[in-house]
Structure 1
Amino acid sequence: MNRFVQIRLIPVIAVGGALCMAGLLWPESEYQRPLTVALNIWPGTENLVLACDAGNTREQRINTVEMSWPTAVMGAFRKRVVDAAVVTLDEMIRLEADGAKPRAILVLGVSKGSDAIMGHAGMESMQSLRGRRVGVEIRSSGEHLLWKALAASGMSVKDVQMVPLNLAETEDAYDEHELDAVVTADPWRLRLRDKGAVTLFDSARSGLEFCRVLVVREEVIRVYPNELKSLVSECLRLSAQLEQSDSPGLDAALRREGFTLKQWRESLQAFHMPDAAENRRLLRPGKGGLEEYVTEMVRTMLKEGMLHRQVNVKGLFIPNFLEEGS
């Protein structure tokens, strides 16, 4: 290579080296992936699944990750594998106690019987379970429901044999007569009922205690404001559509839930989907909303040993993504 060519190459090499160095030193964006939402199967989350699909555009990307049981969803959120998750209020409290910093931005549904304790034919009440084996998912809303049911019957967890069981396993465990009762939720609750299972206790008279909320990690709110606003808006719009027999997303919902159309319609009677106005009321800080409700739940969970430390409920609920007048 002659000297003239060598001289001509010096600027090229210098520029190339500078670009390589810049590539190595340039700070990577903290969030490269789409907004990722974890959820488990429940009829009230079907509008969220459809909303995530509707929210995917060139500017916005939203993914859902379906998990078969609540503690898997909580684990994914806690380990920062996902950015958002659908959880019950007691599960949100547990996540906050673990330092995961969940912030509720939407109430998806209030359980009015969708969560239940199901026993075999011949059982008449929770008293029938004294000394018997009950399958329940530990550290989830199922455990909270079992505690509530036992307390209402003058019993405690010491009066039954708690057998750890994932929510998705409750139907098979019941079918195989491995347990005397299972703590479950729709769609498994409804399918078990149609097989002859007896409802020993359910969430019908539990107020707001077993509602499910969409939570996001605190820092995610700053990173995905457009995606979150779009997601909330679409969820509220699609909630009413899913109640219609000709809804374009109904066939997919029936497949995911393993429901017939008749079962789907029955499942809708077992929970309530708040609209935008009710969401604003529930998420608003102070009295009359979920903040006041959760404050009492924290006291109870601490007293009963279901929570390992105090939780400050201030700031857990954020109504910012609910459009006024929607």
Structure 2
Amino acid sequence: MNRFTQIRLVPVIVLGVLLCAVGLMWPETHYQRPLTVAVNIWPGTEGLVMACDEGNTLKQRINTVEMSWPTAVMGAFRKRVVDAAVVTLDEMIRLEADGAKPRAILALGISHGGDAIMGHAGLESMQSLRGRNVGVELKSAGEYLLWEALRSHGMTLKDLHVVPLNLAESEDAYDEKDLDAVVTADPWCLRLRDKGAVTLFDCSKMNLKFCRVLVVREEALLTYERELRFLVSACLAHNAKIALPKSQGRDAALRREGFTQEQWLQSMTRVHLPDAAENLRLLKPGSGGLEECVNEMVHTMLQAGLLHQEIKTQGMFVPKFLEAAL
């Protein structure tokens, strides 16, 4: 290589070294995955599903993961596969006991009979289930409902043959007649009723105990603050009109729930969707809302053996996103 060529290569080499140095010093781009929300099959979640779809934009990313049974949702939340999830209060208590730190930011809906124990024709009461096969999803709201039903009738789980199954299997299990009764929830509960199933017990008198909430992992509250503010506001807006005859997204909701138009309207009479003001009252401590209800549930779950350790409920409910929506 002659001297002239060597001289010409010097700037190229210097430039290459500088580019390498700049590359080493350039700050790494921090990837933040979209806010991931686990939603289950339940009529009261449809407003949230619509809000998630609406909120998935260039400025903010929101993904939904549809799961058909509660323990799958709880497992995904516990393993940090999702950042947020829809759960019942007893399921929230179980997650807190497991150290998953769920924080409720929105009361989605209160079930008024949409969670029930459904039996075959000929069964007349909970007492008629003695010695019978009853299907239920263990470590979920179904188990809690079954325990409450048995307790109120002077019975225990030992009076039944409990058959574990997930919630999405309850309708098929009932159709196959392998079980005498199943613990289920809408949409399966309503479809079974239309097939002639008998309601042996439902949650209509359990009030707030069968409220489903949107929970978020504690550390995700700040990470996804913008997305969560949007979700709360948009979900409340959709819930306000979801029962109207021509509400947006109705066809998609019917497909997800497996409902006819008539069944959808019936299901909306079986769930109460709190507005922003009621939500704020429910989530604020000291107002006779969800924190007080959860404290009572913790006590009863410990007595029943459904919970094996005391938990602190203070801080489990976060109303700030609701306050921003008002």
Matched, 1:283 2:247: no
Aligned to 1:94: 94
Structure 2 distance, partners of 1:52, 1:243, is 18
SS in 2 for 1:146: helix
Structure 1 distance, partners of 2:297, 2:6, is 81
CA displacement at 1:21 relative to structure 2: 2.9
Tell me the matched-pair count: 323
* Structure 1 segment 143-158 matched on structure 2, within 5 A: 143-158=143-158
1:182-205 CA distance string (max 9 Å, x none): 000000000000111000000000
SS in 2 for 1:254: helix
Aligned to 2:47: 47
CA displacement at 1:28 relative to structure 2: 5.8
Structure 1 distance, partners of 2:225, 2:324, is 16
* Structure 1 segment 18-97 matched on structure 2, within 5 A: 18-22=21-25, 26=27, 29=30, 32-97=32-97
Structure 2 distance, partners of 1:169, 1:117, is 14
Structure 1-normalised TM-score?
A: 0.96
Structure 1 distance, partners of 2:22, 2:76, is 37
1:134-170 CA distance string (max 9 Å, x none): 1100100000000000001100011111111000000
Report if the CA contact (8 A) 2:233-2:325 is conserved: no
Aligned to 1:175: 175
Aligned to 1:108: 108
SS in 1 for 2:243: coil
| Farther off after superposition, 170-179 or 10-19 | 10-19
1:57-116 CA distance string (max 9 Å, x none): 221111110001000000000000000000000000000000000000000000110100
Which residue identity does 1:177 align to in structure 2? K
Aligned to 1:165: 165
Aligned to 1:296: 296
SS in 2 for 1:321: helix
SS in 1 for 2:207: coil
Structure 2 distance, partners of 1:228, 1:72, is 22
1:235-279 CA distance string (max 9 Å, x none): 100112111111121111111101011101110111100000000
Structure 2 distance, partners of 1:59, 1:165, is 41
% same residue: 66
1:268-305 CA distance string (max 9 Å, x none): 11110000000000000224111111001001111111
Matched, 1:243 2:243: yes
Report if the CA contact (8 A) 2:84-2:217 is conserved: yes
Which residue identity does 1:13 align to in structure 2? G
Report if the CA contact (8 A) 2:232-2:325 is conserved: no
Select 1:13's aligned residue among 13, 16, 27.
16
Structure 2 distance, partners of 1:11, 1:191, is 74
Which residue identity does 2:177 align to in structure 1? H
CA displacement at 1:10 relative to structure 2: 2.4
Structure 1 distance, partners of 2:98, 2:20, is 46
CA displacement at 1:6 relative to structure 2: 3.1
Aligned to 1:197: 197
Structure 1 distance, partners of 2:100, 2:231, is 22
Change (3 A) 1:325 1:257: closer
Structure 1 distance, partners of 2:21, 2:299, is 60
| Farther off after superposition, 316-325 or 64-73 | 316-325
Report if the CA contact (8 A) 1:233-1:323 is conserved: no
CA displacement at 1:5 relative to structure 2: 3.0
Structure 2 distance, partners of 1:48, 1:223, is 20
Structure 1: gaps of 5 or more residues:
none
Aligned to 2:132: 132
SS in 2 for 1:286: coil
Aligned to 2:262: 262
Report if the CA contact (8 A) 2:102-2:316 is conserved: yes
Structure 1 distance, partners of 2:309, 2:12, is 66
Aligned to 1:208: 208
SS in 2 for 1:10: helix
Which residue identity does 2:183 align to in structure 1? V
Report if the CA contact (8 A) 2:90-2:144 is conserved: yes
| Farther off after superposition, 283-292 or 170-179 | 283-292
Report if the CA contact (8 A) 1:108-1:213 is conserved: yes
RMSD (Å) for aligned C-alpha atoms: 1.3
Which residue identity does 2:235 align to in structure 1? C
CA displacement at 1:20 relative to structure 2: 4.1
